[in-house]
Every structure is written in C-alpha cells, then in structure tokens.
A and B are shown apart, each in its own frame.
Chain A
Amino acid sequence: MKRIATAAGLITLVAALASAPFFLDAYGLGLMMGLAGYVTLATAWALFSGPTGYVSLATVAFVGIGAYCVAALSEVLPYPLVLLIAAGIGLAVALVVGLSTLRLSGVYFVIFTFGLAELIRQLVTFYEINVTGTLGRYIFLGITPEQIYWQLLALGIVTMLLRWWIGRSRIGLALKVIGDDEVVASHVGIDIARTKLALFAISATIMTLVGAIQAPRWTYVEPAIVFNPTVSFLTLIMALLGGATRLWGPLLGAVPLFLLFEWLSANFPNHYSILLGLLFILIVFALPKGVLSFIEQMWGKAHRTDDSGARS
C-alpha cells in the first residue's frame, strides 16, 4: 500500500516537474534548468564519490567534454548522434582516467582530478588554436530551452533511478563494504578495482551528457567558459552538504544551495561573496551531518538505524 503511495507520489512529482515549462516564464524555466543540471551533476557525483569516499574535482572535465562535442559536431551530425558520441567519448576518457587513478587515495585523488580537468582544458585550447585555428565555437542549434530542460529532467530521473537501483543491487552492497574498509572488501572477494571503475565511468558519462545537453544554451563555447572549475566545486559542495552517501542527499543539497546562490545574487549583488561565505560557515557549524540528516531531525523522528547514517 505504502509502496504504491510512494510510487504515485513520485509519478505525480515527475509529472509536475515535466509540465513546469507550461507555467513558468523564461526566467523560471532558466532556474529549473539550472536546478535540473546541478541536481543531476550532484547525484552523478555522489554515485561514485558517495560510497567510495573518493572526492572528485573532475566534474567539469566531463561537462566540458560534452559541451565541446556538441559545439564541434552539431553542424555536421544529427543531434541525437552527437549526444551519443559525447557520451561515448566521456565514457572512454573516464575509463582511461579510472584505470590510471586506482592507486591514488585521499587528497592525492582530489588534486589529481583537479589537475586532470585543467590538463584537458589546456589540451583542448592547444588543439583548437593550432589545429583548427580558432578558439570559440558557435552553437546554432534550434533547440529550445524547454527541450533542454526536459532532457536534463529525464537524465536527472534516470540518474536517480540508477542510484536507487545500484543501492539495492549487489554492487551497492559491495560498495558499502569498500567504503567502510577496502581491505575487508578485497578479503571477501569483491573486485574493488572493477566496481570502482564501473561507477566512475557511469558517473562521468552522465556528467558528460549534462554538459552536452546544456551547451546549446550558451551559443558561444570556449574553454574558459565550459571548463570553469567553479562547476566542479559547486557540485562537490552541493553533494557533500546534502549528504553524499544518501539517495536524496545530493538533491537536497543542490536545490536549496542553488536557490540560495540565486537569491543572494538577485538581492545582494555587491555583498554576495561575504554573505555566501558567512552562510557557508554557519551551515557547516549548524548542520554537521548534512541537510538530509538535519531535515530528518527536524521532523523529530530520526530513524537512522537502518542506514549507515552520517557520512563517514
């Protein structure tokens, strides 16, 4: 009975979200697009980083690859094929990176992924200048903001479902063990390397698609615009703040934070930095275990026995 209620609730929510463009103006739609983008990114980020505890700053590397694929190919190939190719390239890069980073851990992994994103940006820049002879590319596709939003929404839902499914599957169990203790995991016969690699690849492919889908919104694409490291930081912060180990955590980090950024920049353009910084510090002190846990506490019935609970 409850299961049906949950499913019905979710379907209603999805329907409401999908019909949003019919009620909202361009700005509202722009907001929803940004929300859908960041929720998807944060969820995809947590797909890999949540259970494994590997903090990645490579998000924008994949987003940028996706955007560049669209910019480079959209004039010569049909759009769905471009998306497919983008996803393929993202997947390939993710596999190479994943294979090479298996030995790294902790902060070494964090900064490695940051370096990787910058390396890709530098290489794309060098290629564009010396091979194609231009830097910026124009995207003149007839894709409307509504279509971008629906694509992002669909991708976001798929990502959530994927995460939910992985959490229930054997891989999910394996991941929990890896996150707790890699040595134990390898002793009980879990192929750590393959599991981590698979997750990293899936997460990266989704990020690549987010970049590819959003690209037509900007008209003009250049490395400084699509490889903006802020995107990696925001994604990480949103997921961590919401609670990266939980299914709904990244969403509950991304939505309020995104709206907070928006509200601050709309109302305090000159004091944005200071207010944002102070709020951040406040949040860290007030919500030591993430937004999701905080909400549960606020509801007064924190049943955290069935879950690993706090981030560890």
Chain B
Amino acid sequence: MFVTTLIAGLVLGGTYALVAMGLTLQYGISRIMNLAYGETIIAASFLAYALSSSFNINPLISLVLAAPLGFVFSYLIYGLMLRPLVARSKTAMALEIDSILATFGLLFVIQGVMLLMFGGNYISYSYMNFGVDIFGASVAANRLLALVLALALGGGLYLLLTRTLWGTALRAVAVAPSSAPLVGIDANRAVRLAFALGGALAACGGVVISMYQTFTATTGVVFTMKALIVVIMGGVGNLLGALSAGLILGLVETFVATYVSPGLTLAAVYLIFLGILLWRPSGLFGKARR
C-alpha cells in the first residue's frame, strides 16, 4: 500500500514539476513574472488535441512539433513585448510590476484567441492510457511519460546550466544582470534564449498533459498558479528546486488523500507550501538575496 501510494505521488508530482520547469527559467533567469505561462501550456494542449482529432497525428509527434513552436513564440513575445519593458525599467520592482501588467494582458489575448477558435468547452481525449506495472502499482503510461520527461528535461537542463559555458553565462545573468556584460556576456540575448526555452518547456508540458487531463480555453490560470507555487517553493530559478518541489507536492497530495482525507489534499498542499516558506523564506534551494 505504501509503495503504491509513493509511486502514485511521484507520478503526480512529475506533472507538477514538468509544468513548473519552464516558469522557473523564465522568472529566475529572464526576471519576467509571466502570468500568461499557463496559456502557453494550454495552447500546446489544443495543438495536440487538434492534430490528433482532425489529422490523426500521434501526440508524440505533436510533442516534437510543439517544443520549437513554443520556443519561437516565446522568443517573439520577449523581443516584441517584454524587451522594451526591460529596457525602460530602472529598478527590479518596476520591471516586476510592468511584467505582471503586460503578461496579464497577454494572458487575456491568448485566452481570447483560443476561445474564438475552440469555444469554451471541455476538451478531452486520451492517449497512452494503459497501465504500466511498477513494483506492483499500476501507473498510467501517459502520466509516467510526464514524470520521465520532467526528470529528463530537468536533469538535462541542469547539466546544461552547470556544465556548459552557455549555461554558466545564463546563470551569471540570473545572479547579476547588470554585471554580466562586463565579462563579455550578451545579457539581452541570454535572457531572451532563457525565456524562449521556458516557452518550449511549457509547450512540451502542455502536449503531455493533454493526453490525460481535461482542459478548456480558460484553464491556463490554474497551471500558472500551480507552477508559481512549485517555483517559489523550490527557489526561483532553480531547476532542481522546481523538480523536487513538484515531487513533494505530488507526494503530499497522494499521501493525504490515502491516509488522511481526499478533502484536505489541496489544503495540505498550501499548508506545506506556506510552512516551507516560513522555514526557508527563499524556497528550498533559494539563496536569500536582496
């Protein structure tokens, strides 16, 4: 029983981690509080659904399509909309406010476009919905895919950020955006790439999630808020933090549902989140910074 619960929790946590990873890049490195993040996820979900239902295209192929689309889309958004705001803002606080207001607008635009194209209905299809046996627990293959993808992307990007020159540059920009140019780093290009990469991750997440979760044109906000909680709990900009925070939340939810009461799962999630913040005000892996 315990093992079953543990595995179910890890699998659920995999979805949360997958959803949060792009946001931690966008917020941690590019310093953009992107409220339209969840809309990118849902847009990718719609893409997978539309391709699957109209052209019978395998969602796994959509996954390969969605990632570069998410990248290009976010790249353009950053260049057209966010870059001018970054350029004009004098303080981090001003940028924060501007990016909240601007991406709040973007959220509505993307949502409105999706409403016009697909209407407000529930969208649901299923793909890879068969059980995979792991230590006696039957796990849905599509959810397992989310966990595997979260681990692979999280681990891969972590290596990329810590072991390559390009990654080091990105981290330098995240820590000290104003000093990075002094050592020859093109900060603008770096943050734009990080933002675009975050978009690509969001799109991947959207395609995988659409295989097992019902969504509508307006559910993006739910994902944004869940992702924000995971990101903040893990420590802003920290991929391993997002990964572990996601898994912790999944485990909390599943264990509470099994051993306490399913009615308290979300309450427990928020309680753990608030508790961790009170214990470590900059998140699990975050470093206090002013």
State if A and B touch, Cβ cutoff 8 Å.
yes
Most chain A Cβ neighbours within 10 Å, of B94, B107, B263, B267? B267
| Complex contact A112–B274 (CB within 8 A) | yes
B85 within 8 A of A: yes
A-B contact count (CB 8 A): 123
Closest to A270 in B: B116
- The B interface, classified by DSSP as helix, strand, loop or mixed, is helix
| Complex contact A114–B225 (CB within 8 A) | yes
B144 within 8 A of A: no
Given contacts A115-B274, A273-B111, A280-B101, contact A126 B81 (CB under 8 A): no
| Complex contact B267–A284 (CB within 8 A) | no
CB contacts (< 8 Å) of B283 on chain A: these are 108
Given contacts A285-B84, A311-B94, contact A119 B108 (CB under 8 A): no
B39 to chain A, nearest CB (A): 10
CB contacts (< 8 Å) of B101 on chain A: these are 237, 240-241, 280, 283-284
Which of A39-47, A98-106, A146-154 makes up part of the contact surface?
A98-106
| Complex contact B232–A111 (CB within 8 A) | yes
| Complex contact A115–B270 (CB within 8 A) | yes
- Report the count of interface residues on A (CB-CB < 8 A): 48
CB contacts (< 8 Å) of A280 on chain B: these are 101-102, 104-105, 108
Report the bound CA distance from A274 to B263 in whole Å: 36
CB contacts (< 8 Å) of A233 on chain B: these are 104
Given contacts A240-B100, A283-B101, A312-B94, contact A122 B281 (CB under 8 A): no
A107 within 8 A of B: yes
A309 within 8 A of B: no
A residues 248-279 near B (Cβ < 8 Å) are 270-279
CB contacts (< 8 Å) of A237 on chain B: these are 101, 104
Closest to A290 in B: B97
Most chain A Cβ neighbours within 10 Å, of B105, B115, B229? B105
16 sample A-B contacts, Cβ–Cβ < 8 Å, listed by A number: A108-B281, A111-B232, A114-B229, A118-B266, A119-B271, A233-B104, A237-B101, A273-B111, A277-B110, A277-B111, A284-B85, A284-B98, A288-B88, A311-B97, A312-B91, A312-B93
| Chain B interface (Cβ < 8 Å from any Cβ of A) | 27, 33, 81, 84-85, 88, 91, 93-94, 96-98, 100-102, 104-113, 115-116, 225, 228-229, 232, 236, 261, 263-264, 266-267, 270-271, 273-274, 277-278, 281-283
Q: Which 9 A-B pairs have the closest CB atoms?
A: A280-B105, A277-B108, A273-B112, A274-B112, A277-B109, A119-B270, A122-B267, A281-B105, A111-B232
